[in-house]
Amino acid sequence: MDRDMIAELADIGVDTETALSRFMGNTNLYTKFLFKFPADDNFAKLKASIDSKDKDGAFMAAHTVKGVAANLGLDPFSKDIEPLVEKFRGVSSYPEDEDIEALYNAAAEKYNEICSIINRYAQQ
Amino acid sequence: MKDTLLVVDDMEINRDILENIFSDSYKIIKAENGIEAIEMLKEHKESICAVLLDIFMPELDGFGVLDYMHKNDLNKTVPTVLITGDTSNESKQKGYSMGVSDVIEKPFDSQIVKTRINNIVELYKHKNGLEELVDEQTRKIKHQADKISATNKKLWDTLGAIVEFRNHESGMHIYRVREFTRVLLEAVADNYPEYGLTNELIDAMAFASVMHDVGKISISDTILLKPGRLTDEEFEIMKTHTTKGSEIIDAVCDTDDELYFKFGRQIARSHHERFDGRGYPDGLVGDDIPIAAQIVAIADVYDALVSRRVYKPPFTPSEAFRMITNGECGQFNPKIMDSLKIARPKFEELAERLK
């Protein structure tokens, strides 16, 4: 069952092979953290920080969620998050940049796609 | 026993991945932020063999932990590896400048992380072992040096005593001279700081005084033990005990690694010099005569005066004092004469006690 989820994620571009080797081939541990991914609130915090123009909150949340996603091999998502992190790195005030919304929306699309697969298996 | 890895990361997934990698080779303790990390460093510093440290964390970040380790000298014995998602060169440079051993970027390859951390832990184990070894060896060398120094001193005492026994004396003369020398040096040190006589110098000079007559070993019995007055020719030979003495010390102590080697040489050669240049063997004048030799000269004369010799009865301490200060035994440094006046009660007490 877990292997089906991993295969399905691999089909949409998740680098499950590298991620599994990161977990030293421990499928249970990999699955445990995949299931935790939708529950992690950092992506929601990122949205809230963008809405309230909180540059520090946005950076911290984007940086954290990028790290988790990269660990899990969620490349399609983390590739979109990465430029967002850079938008907020070391800025002195909230950047007035139209790309931020576009980047966020692209990331959100991938996020939802990944989470819907994981949630389907999590409920089983 | 250093067998514990401290994993510091605010994200559970990162802590667990690292734990999963290392749990078969190390004990793992985990901290969620810098404050917790410092608590664990305090509690487990004897057992932690490496710190795997994230940079961005709530409460206190990774640089705060590095700062703590630096201030408490932990960075010298415990390697830290930054494991960070922050790929900027600025952060890496800051980390390296704060003494981290390595920077590993997230997401990482577990096999590579495992190998790199193991290498660093091994390297530090080796380094810490070497440092302990050096400390241990340094202690041993110090101990051996102390032993050698003690043996050297014993040899000197023995050599001084042998010369005196050959002179058919009791061996007490050199000890009395040493005590008179010390008392007089202390009086000079108190009243004439220009001679720069520290306690260390006084100890070395007093100790070296046992060698003042070592050159007499080269003088033949017929002269050395002659009961009557020496002829001019015999006296010339007798005078060579000064130069022979310094030659003997030169031959025995070919280095200057002990202060008293130098003073022994000066004392043996120059303890018959006089302040006005009328002494021997070099006719040195004033403070050209080494201070150690000037002092021993007086101690030697004083002891000769208050002791019984085959050719004379003992003088009383007050007679000896008068004969030295009024120039009957040759002229001495006026500053030392002043010091002798100050030290007179101690001299007389010593003369009585060591009779």
**Complex ipTM:** 0.79
Which contacts of B20-23 are long-range, i.e. CB under 8 A and separated by 24 or more positions?
A: B20/A23, B20/A24, B20/A26, B20/A29, B21/A24, B21/B110, B21/B113, B21/B114, B22/B114, B22/B117
Does A33 lie at the interface with B, CB-CB under 8 angstroms? yes
- What DSSP designation does A124 have? -
Top CATH class of A2-122 equals mainly alpha
The amino acid at B204: A
For residue B10, which residues of chain A lie inside 8 Å, CB to CB? 64
Our CA dihedral for A24, A30, A31, A32, rounded to 10 degrees, sits at 110
Nearest to B295 by CA among B201, B182, B167: B182
User: What does the alpha-carbon distance between residue A59 and residue A28 come to, in Å, rounded to a whole number?
Assistant: 31
The CATH code that applies to domain B145-353 is 1.10.3210.10
User: What does the alpha-carbon distance between residue B265 and residue B242 come to, in Å, rounded to a whole number?
Assistant: 9
Average pLDDT over residues A107-119: 90
For residue A68, which residues of chain B lie inside 8 Å, CB to CB? 11, 13
Min CA distance, B18 vs chain A (Å)?
A: 9
Structure tokens at B245: 């003495």
Q: Would you call B56 and A23 a contact, using CB atoms and an 8 Å cutoff? A: no
For residue A71, which residues of chain B lie inside 8 Å, CB to CB? 13-14, 17, 106-107
Residue A121 has pLDDT above 80, yes or no: yes
Q: Which residue ranges does chain B devote to CATH 1.10.3210.10?
A: 145-353
Residue of B nearest to A71 (CA): B107
Give the end-to-end CA distance of chain A in Å, rounded to a whole number.
Answer: 9
Q: Would you call B13 and A72 a contact, using CB atoms and an 8 Å cutoff? A: yes
Res B256: pLDDT: 62
User: What does the alpha-carbon distance between residue B148 and residue B159 come to, in Å, rounded to a whole number?
Assistant: 16
Structure tokens at B14: 């990162």
The amino acid at B47: S
Domain positions in chain A? 2-122
User: What does the alpha-carbon distance between residue B324 and residue B279 come to, in Å, rounded to a whole number?
Assistant: 15
Residue A103 has pLDDT above 80, yes or no: yes
For residue A21, which residues of chain B lie inside 8 Å, CB to CB? 109-111
Please state which architecture CATH assigns to domain B4-134.
3-Layer(aba) Sandwich (3.40)
Res B26: pLDDT: 92
Q: Would you call B110 and A33 a contact, using CB atoms and an 8 Å cutoff? A: no
Res B254: pLDDT: 66
Give the residue from B110, B111, B115, B117 with the most A CB atoms within 10 Å of its CB, the best one to mutate: B110
| pLDDT class of A88 with cuts at 50, 70, 90 | confident
Min CA distance, B13 vs chain A (Å)?
A: 7
User: What does the alpha-carbon distance between residue B225 and residue B205 come to, in Å, rounded to a whole number?
Assistant: 28
The amino acid at A86: E
3-class DSSP string for chain B: CCCEEEEECCCHHHHHHHHHHHCCCCEEEEECCHHHHHHHHHHHCCCEEEEEECCCCCCCCHHHHHHHHHHCCHHHCCCEEEEECCCCHHHHHHHHHCCCCEEEECCCCHHHHHHHHHHHHHHHHHHHHHHHHHHHHHHHHHHHHHHHHHHHHHHHHHHHHHHHHHCCCCCHHHHHHHHHHHHHHHHHHHHCHHHCCCHHHHHHHHHHHHHCCHHHHHCCHHHHCCCCCCCHHHHHHHHCHHHHHHHHHHHHCCCCCCHHHHHHHHHHHHCCCCCCCCCCCCCCCHHHCCHHHHHHHHHHHHHHHHCCECCECCCCHHHHHHHHHCCCCCCCCHHHHHHHHHHHHHHHHHHHHCC
Summarised one tens digit per residue, pLDDT across range A25-67 is 889 889 989 999 998 888 999 899 988 988 888 898 998 898 8
Average pLDDT over residues A96-107: 86
Q: Would you call B85 and A70 a contact, using CB atoms and an 8 Å cutoff? A: yes
Residues of B with CB under 8 A from a CB of A: 10-14, 16-17, 20-21, 56, 85-86, 88, 106-111
Q: Which residue has the tokens 């984007």?
A: A62
CB B297 within 8 A of CB B332: yes
Which residues are bridge partners to B50 per DSSP?
B5
Q: Would you call A68 and B13 a contact, using CB atoms and an 8 Å cutoff? A: yes
pLDDT averaged per 10 residues, chain B (length 355): 89 89 91 92 90 88 91 88 81 87 86 91 88 89 87 83 78 88 95 93 92 92 86 94 92 73 93 95 95 96 88 88 92 94 92 82
pTM value is 0.57
Does A60 lie at the interface with B, CB-CB under 8 angstroms? yes
Min CA distance, A26 vs chain B (Å)?
A: 8
Structure tokens at B253: 């102590």
Rounded to the nearest 10 degrees, what angle do helices A42-51 and A99-122 cross at? 150
Average pLDDT over residues A1-27: 87
For residue B62, which residues of chain A lie inside 8 Å, CB to CB? none
The partner residue sitting opposite B110, judged by closest CB among A22, A36, A68, is A22
Nearest to B3 by CA among B22, B20, B19, B27: B27
